[in-house]
Amino acid sequence: MSSAISADLLPDTAQDGPSGLSVGGVPLVELGRRFGTPLFVYDEEHLRQRCREAVAAFGAGNVAYASKAFLCTAMARLAHEEGLLLDVASGGELRVALHAGVPGERIVLHGNNKDEHELRTAIGAGVRHVVVDSFDELDRIERLHATGGLAPVPVVLRVAPGVAAGAHQAIRTGGTDSKFGFGLADGAAAAAVRRAADSPATALEGVHAHVGSQVLDAAELADGARAVARFAVETGVRGLTVGGGLGVAYEAGQRVPSFAEWAARVRAAAREAGWRGEVTVEPGRSITARAGLTLYRVGTIKRIEGVRTYVSVDGGMSDNLRPALYASRYEAFLPRAPHAARPLRARVVGKHCESGDVIIDDAELPADLRVSDLLATPVTGAYGYAMASNYNKLPRPAVVFVRDGAARLVVRRETEDDLLRLDVAPTAEDRSERAKLVTARGGR
């Protein structure tokens, strides 16, 4: 296939113009020059529109943004402004949400191994509820409550319904063999409901299940909803959360259910199971993925006759781990010529000292690709920056939001000084001991 990049993979406001592709009214080539590369670019209007579609489909108060997909202060504020709750999965994510001004009662805390500090912080902040994942966690909450002065902690119990879905084994979370939640099949979920209902430390708000991520078939999400709804009806709890998992198109031709279709399918499944209440969901990827893209600068082009062409860029697995982790597939294009045919087949790789540092294994690129070109990979708004690392001591990229012809920096680029910030400087005594050791070994 040598066609141009599909518009279905680009942010909502993407438009072609004299300077190539623009997003939010700002040319991508200008963003690359102004902010440097690698660079995460988010279409703010796209983000807001997806939030509004989710709320329209499920109702106000029934949508929590799964912030693990992408979180910074600006994103937390945006989701809150659009009426979404914030779903956080660690003390660090909780800190960012609170720093963004999101009230505690608009935050829910997830995580399969929350420590007492995280629980204490969440309880102190007055979070909407804690999604409890294990009996050990119930033990911790009861110990904190026993210290005195605490009202019962609102909790929702995470259930492993025996239904697993998703594009890769590593992101299928709802099966019986899962690190997450109380199992239905072995009776653990029923026992957890009894304990939480009877404990003076907890106020049982409902049950929760999440079957997996990057799910492109709404029927699989409905299956998970049906299983946990049946359990909710049997136990008489008052709240039902069916998690997230709605997928996005990473390559041309992939069909993706809409929020409205997702809502219709899971509501119908819950009704079939006898549930008559509201259904809460936790979308993340489906809010942010297509809203974002990554800009790179091409550094080398290596042609191996009869084998393949390698195109190396100035980022890699430190800003997009998904290809190495999940064998995820992406497409690429040149912002200066977004409608150009892409007959050149090449492996797009990063600059890390790993053969597995592959961004796109078999990319389609324009024939006139050259060193110093700006290269874009679309649909990187979820689990790109969120999973970014400092492997090989590469500073993490900057993040910009674009809207109405303006770009604003929401996360600055790390510097090499930032990379040294956590290193502990040696004391005078350390230096003295080091000098003695070197001398004893005959060094200078």
Mean pLDDT over all residues of the chain?
93
Given a cut of 90, is residue 185 above it in pLDDT?
A: no
Which pair of structure tokens corresponds to residue 147? 């210290």
Identify the pLDDT of residue 172: 43
CATH match for 44-287 among 3.20.20.10, 3.40.50.300, 3.90.1150.10, 3.40.190.80: 3.20.20.10
State the architecture of 7-42+289-420 in CATH terms: Beta Barrel (2.40)
User: For the segment 354-378, what is each residue's pLDDT rounded down to a tens digit?
Assistant: 999 999 999 999 999 999 999 999 9
Identify the residue whose tokens are 């708000």: 205
Q: pLDDT digits over 387-410, tens only?
A: 999 999 999 999 999 999 999 999
Angle value at C-alpha 386, between 381 and 378, nearest 5 degrees: 20
Q: Of all residues in the chain, what percent carry a pLDDT higher than 70?
A: 96
**Residue of 307, 353, 428, 440 with catalytic role:** 353
Question: What would the pLDDT profile of 278-327 be if each residue is shown by its tens digit?
Answer: 999 999 999 999 999 999 999 999 999 999 999 999 999 999 999 999 89
Give the start-to-end residue ranges of the domains of the chain.
Answer: 7-42+289-420, 44-287
Residue 168 has pLDDT above 60, yes or no: no
Q: Report the SS3 class of residue 51.
A: helix
- Work out the pLDDT band at 429, boundaries 50, 70, 90: confident
The rounded distance, in Å, linking the Cα atoms of 93 and 87 is 9
| Three-class SS state of 249 | coil
Task: Check the CA dihedral 356-359-363-368 and report its sign.
Answer: negative
Provide the CB-side half-sphere exposure for 90 (13 A, CA).
Answer: 8
Model pTM score? 0.93
Closest residue by Cα to residue 67 from 39, 43, 38, 91: 91
Q: In the structure, what pLDDT confidence band is assigned to residue 444 with cuts at 50, 70 and 90?
A: low
- The yes-or-no answer on residue 51 being catalytic is no
Going by DSSP bridges, is the β-strand pair 358-365/344-349 parallel, antiparallel, or unpaired?
antiparallel
What does the pLDDT look like over 255-291, one tens digit per residue?
999 999 999 999 999 999 999 999 999 999 999 999 9
Q: Kindly give, in sequence order, each residue whose CB lies less than 8 Å from that of residue 337, ignoring residues fewer than 6 positions away.
A: 20, 366
Residues in a beta bridge with 43:
402
